[in-house]
């Protein structure tokens, strides 16, 4: 019946009603099941009791015998250890006797007198029924003490052999020399036995330094085993369990070993022993014991307290190594009596349970009512408290204090609510961060597009400023007054080109070849660079120091861009520190076991850290988020900065899959750049060829460019390099030209308006000339079209404007097919 159908909707009241109903039903059901189960068990146990008793007695017998067998196995396994312990104990006793005699007499008697005292003391000592004795031999093999054969004393027995040909004395001397003491085993016939059977005999020998002797004693292994067997029988005979439980033992030949706590006399044969039914008990036991798992034997036998025979069940198990049979038994007449007693107890218990169950039902029902009422009250209180706390949490975003709830379920729900609140706050915070990042990305994208477009046009303009001085300088006579101005024009053009390259870096990111380098070497080059000299001249009292890790690991990087990162970081630090400030450049090897959040989240791994710090006034917190934006600067634009330095650093770091952290306060600022470690080796630089070596042999170079000025510049450079230049103004013209003529290599502009692009041009050319060589030239940074063109088979990418040396090296490289020549860093 549903509580809701009767009009009750309170959880508190519903819980109370359900608890009472379930409790009453459970108690009645339990009582009924218990009585029925007892009755069924009563009928079942009446028929199964005999089998259970028999099984339990068999398990008890088998377990008891197994414990004895384990003890016997243990003693068997310890036989040799037991013998060694006994021999070592006696050997040490002989040593102690000899050493005490020596200590007491060394100052009052001659050595030969001391020898005699020791021999007289050890000679009469016997053990193991008179078979054991002590012997003494010098380290040169002279027998000093041999109680059983004194005629061998004072004779050299160094070459004595046992019956297997082993050199006995030499083995003992070798043991004493190597270890000071130890055990040796040899093979002999026993004096008291006839025949050719050899017995292993183990001896313990110990070096006696005062007389340069070794003392020893020995014993046959089988004699030790017999002693161990005797000790084992004495011990097992005393084992007891229960009221009348004892063990018995016999040999495979039918001799009694022990029974009922008494050890049997030797040669006490019970082979033909029979029970009241005429069964050969011992022979039955031996046959059952020789089975792999032992066996049970049933027969009739008198009790200790009654001479009449009673049915008895015994379990026997064989010890094959010693030819023993070990067993124990139990009388079976107690089963019927036990069955009758169990029946009476069972009936009586059922009666008592039926009487007591009624009173237990009433008591349990009363207790459950009290508990249910209390729990119902507590649940109601907790629900009110939780409802109030949940309302506050949803309204005011206040965490719920879960420890104030009595029930674990409400605590868990509170924890879940708190996690939901925390997750909501984290999501809202993440959303704000994402919105800010999207805003910054849009800003960077807009600035990048602007910078990229401007940079592309400027590169085409700068081509004349950078390239024409090379052509003019090559035609000027020596000491011409125009040489210096032309060089100045070229340097200014290259400097402008570098600024344009910075704009391109921001527009499309870094696109440069990387190789394995050591950051310390790049820093050392910078410390002797003109840029740093200029900073030192401007800030005369400035201190710039380095602290470089001695065994700094390598990184994979672009040397040009690493130099830019170092230069811009140091330049910013110097300008922040001022004229009398301090700037420190530091490198560190570091392994991050777990990621951490600095300026950005830095992942785990191996890093080389570039740290540049200053003691300037620091960066204001509101400015830190903007410092990597292009053209953002607190300096005077055009005087101390372009606002591109940190933006370039950010792009280089992203390209190198590195991370940056910024730590700033009013005592200074530290920039830490985390570069992933490379485990590859640094490759040595190639020697660059001279310009004479780079000149051509009259090969035809097809210049494809939409700007006539670029065609003129390229033609002029190619003629100086002894190449034949042919120029066309579009991709279509180039495709038509190559249908009728041949060119050894193409200079291919990527962006040509109007008409098809450089990529489409090359794609059409290689349909008819699949092996056509080409060099890509563009005033724009390396784009996706550049990569696609290189994938088709084009060679190097050159960023306009190019110098004579750069173009010469690129053409020579592609025509030679080596692809190994590299130009100087621009």
pLDDT tens profile 74-99: 777 777 787 788 888 999 999 999 99
- My answer on whether 736 and 798 are in the same domain is yes
Residue 137 lies in a domain: yes
Residue 611 structural domain: 519-678
Q: 696 and 562 in one domain? A: no
Rounded Cα gap, residues 590 and 609, in angstroms: 7
Q: Are residues 651 and 697 in the same domain?
A: no
Is 145 within a domain? yes
Q: Which residues pair with 26 in a beta bridge?
A: none
Q: Are 196 and 244 found together in one domain?
A: no
The token pair at 457 is 């046009």
Q: What is the CATH number of the domain that holds 113?
A: 3.30.450.20
pLDDT of residue 368: 67
Neighbours of 188 (CB within 10 A): 15
Cα 173 off chain centre by: 52
End of a domain among 171, 199, 226? Answer: 226
Residue-level pLDDT at 634? 59
Report the 10 Å Cβ neighbour count for 466.
25
200 & 253 share domain: no
In a domain, 4, yes or no: no
Q: What is the CATH number of the domain that holds 624?
A: 3.30.565.10
Instruction: Output the six-digit token pair for 227.
Output: 């002693």
Same domain (yes/no): 198, 252:
no
**Is the separation of the CB atoms in 245 and 64 below 8 Å?**
yes
Nearest alpha carbon to residue 255 among 298, 286, 287:
286
The pLDDT of residue 632: 59
The SS3 assignment for 65 reads helix
Asked if 745 and 706 sit in the same domain, the reply is yes
Residue 341 included in any domain:
no
Q: Are residues 546 and 674 in the same domain?
A: yes
Domain count, the chain: 4
Which pLDDT tens digit goes with each residue over 651-678?
Answer: 888 888 888 899 989 889 999 999 999 9
Q: Are residues 590 and 653 in the same domain?
A: yes
Does residue 347 form part of some domain?
no
Mean pLDDT, consecutive 10-residue segments, the chain of 826 residues? 50 63 68 69 69 79 83 76 84 93 92 91 86 90 90 90 88 91 84 70 91 89 74 79 78 82 76 85 86 87 78 86 84 69 72 71 71 68 66 65 64 71 69 62 58 60 63 69 67 62 54 80 90 85 90 89 89 86 93 82 90 90 74 51 68 84 90 92 68 83 87 84 91 91 91 86 92 86 81 87 82 76 34
pTM over 0.75: no
Q: How many other C-beta atoms can be found within 10 angstroms of the C-beta atom of residue 710?
A: 24
In 3D, which of 333, 291, 280 has the Cα closest to residue 316? Answer: 291
Which of 203, 226, 249 is the endpoint of a domain?
226
Dist CA 383 CA 389 (whole Å) = 10
Q: Based on the domain organization, do 639 and 544 belong to the same domain?
A: yes
**Do residues 701 and 725 make contact, with C-beta atoms less than 8 angstroms apart?**
yes
Q: Are 801 and 497 in contact (CB under 8 A)?
A: yes
218, containing H or E segment: strand 213-220
Residue 265 counted as domain residue: yes
Calculate the alpha carbon distances from 558 to 210, 517, 563, 802 in Å.
Answer: 81, 9, 9, 19
Here the CATH number for the domain that contains residue 797 is 3.40.50.2300
421, part of any domain = no
Q: Which of 678, 701, 734 lies at the terminal end of a domain, its last residue? A: 678
The secondary structure of 658-712, three-state, reads CEEEEEEECCEEEEEEEEEEECCCCCCCCCCCCHHHHCCCCCEEEEECCCHHHHH
CA dist., res. 651 & res. 509, Å (int): 6
Is 324 in the same domain as 218? Answer: no
Residue 640 confidence (pLDDT): 46
Q: Spell out the residues 6+ positions from residue 668 whose beta carbon is closer than 8 angstroms to its own.
A: 576, 577, 613, 614, 615, 616, 618
- Give the C-alpha separation, 572 to 575, whole Å: 5
Same domain, 160 and 302: no
């Amino acid at each position: 019946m549903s509580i809701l159908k009767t009009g009750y909707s309170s959880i508190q009241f519903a819980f109370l009603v359900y608890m009472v109903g379930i409790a009453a039903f459970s108690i009645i059901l339990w009582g009924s099941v218990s009585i029925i189960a007892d009755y069924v068990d009563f009928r079942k146990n009446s028929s199964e009791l005999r089998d259970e008793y028999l099984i339990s007695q068999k398990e008890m017998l088998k377990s008891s015998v197994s414990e004895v067998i384990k003890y016997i196995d243990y003693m068997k396994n310890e036989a040799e250890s037991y013998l060694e312990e006994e021999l070592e104990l006696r050997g040490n006793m002989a040593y102690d006797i000899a050493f005490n005699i020596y200590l007491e007499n060394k100052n009052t008697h001659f050595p030969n007198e001391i020898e005699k005292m020791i021999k007289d003391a050890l000679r009469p000592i016997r053990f193991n029924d008179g078979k054991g004795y002590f012997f003494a031999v010098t380290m040169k093999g002279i027998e000093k003490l041999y109680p059983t054969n004194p005629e061998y004393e004072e004779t050299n027995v160094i070459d004595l052999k046992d019956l297997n040909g082993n050199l006995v004395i030499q083995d003992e001397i070798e043991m004493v020399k190597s270890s000071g003491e130890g055990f040796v085993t040899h093979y002999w016939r026993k004096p008291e036995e006839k025949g050719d059977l050899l017995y292993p005999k183990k001896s313990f020998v110990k070096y006696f330094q005062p007389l340069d002797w070794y003392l020893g004693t020995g014993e046959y292994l089988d004699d030790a085993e017999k002693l161990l067997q005797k000790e084992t029988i004495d011990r097992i005979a005393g084992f007891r369990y229960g009221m009348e439980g004892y063990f018995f033992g016999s040999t495979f030949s039918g001799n009694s070993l022990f029974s009922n706590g008494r050890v049997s006399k030797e040669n006490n044969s019970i082979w033909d022993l029979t029970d009241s039914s005429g069964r050969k008990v011992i022979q039955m036991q031996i046959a059952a014991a020789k089975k792999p798992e032992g066996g049970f034997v049933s027969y009739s036998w008198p009790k200790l307290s009654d001479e009449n025979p009673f049915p008895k069940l015994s379990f026997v198990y064989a010890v094959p190594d010693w030819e023993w049979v070990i067993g124990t038994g139990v009388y079976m007449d107690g089963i019927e009596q036990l069955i009758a007693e169990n029946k009476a107890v069972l009936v009586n218990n059922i009666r008592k349970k039926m009487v007591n169950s009624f009173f237990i039902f009433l008591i349990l029902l009363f207790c459950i009512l009290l508990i249910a009422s209390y729990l119902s009250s507590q649940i109601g209180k907790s629900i009110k408290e939780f409802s109030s706390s949940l309302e506050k949490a949803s309204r005011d975003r206040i965490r719920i204090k879960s420890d104030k709830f009595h029930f674990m379920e409400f605590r868990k729900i509170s924890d879940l609510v708190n996690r939901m609140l925390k997750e909501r706050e984290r999501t809202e915070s993440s959303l704000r961060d994402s919105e800010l990042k999207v805003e910054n990305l849009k800003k960077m994208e807009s600035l990048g597009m602007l910078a990229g477009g401007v940079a592309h046009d400027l590169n085409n303009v700068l081509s004349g400023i950078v390239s024409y001085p090379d052509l003019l300088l090559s035609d000027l006579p020596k000491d011409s007054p125009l040489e210096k101005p032309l060089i100045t024009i070229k340097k200014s053009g290259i400097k402008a080109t570098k600024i344009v390259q910075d704009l391109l870096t921001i527009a499309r990111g870094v696109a440069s070849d990387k190789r394995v380098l050591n950051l310390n070497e790049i820093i050392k080059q910078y410390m002797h660079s003109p840029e740093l000299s200029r900073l030192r001249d401007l800030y005369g009292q400035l201190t710039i120091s380095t602290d470089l890790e001695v065994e700094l690991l390598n990184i994979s990087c672009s040397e040009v861009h690493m130099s830019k990162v170092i230069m811009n970081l140091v330049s910013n630090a110097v300008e922040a520190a001022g004229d009398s400030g301090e700037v420190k450049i530091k490198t560190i090897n570091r392994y991050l076991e777990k990621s951490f959040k600095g300026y950005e989240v830095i992942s785990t791994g191996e890093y080389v850290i570039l740290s540049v710090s200053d003691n300037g006034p620091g960066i204001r917190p509101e400015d830190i988020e903007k410092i990597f934006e292009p053209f953002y600067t607190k300096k005077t634009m055009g005087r101390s900065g372009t606002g591109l330095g940190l933006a370039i650093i950010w792009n280089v770091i992203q390209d190198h899959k590195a991370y940056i952290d910024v730590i700033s306060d009013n005592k200074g600022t530290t920039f830490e750049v985390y570069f992933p470690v490379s485990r590859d080796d640094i490759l040595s630089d190639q020697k660059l060829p001279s310009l004479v070596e780079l000149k051509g042999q009259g090969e035809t170079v097809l210049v494809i460019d939409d700007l006539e000025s670029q065609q003129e510049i390229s033609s002029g450079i190619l003629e100086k390099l002894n190449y034949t230049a042919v120029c066309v103004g579009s991709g279509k013209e180039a495709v038509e030209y190559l249908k009728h003529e041949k060119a050894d290599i193409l200079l291919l502009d990527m962006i040509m308006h109007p008409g098809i692009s450089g990529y489409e041009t090359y794609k059409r050319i290689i349909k008819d000339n699949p092996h056509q060589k080409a060099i890509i030239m563009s005033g724009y940074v390396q784009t996706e079209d550049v990569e696609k063109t290189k994938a088709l088979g084009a060679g190097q990418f050159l960023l306009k404007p190019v110098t004579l040396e750069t173009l010469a090296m690129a053409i020579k490289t592609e025509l030679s097919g080596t692809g190994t020549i590299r130009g100087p860093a621009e």
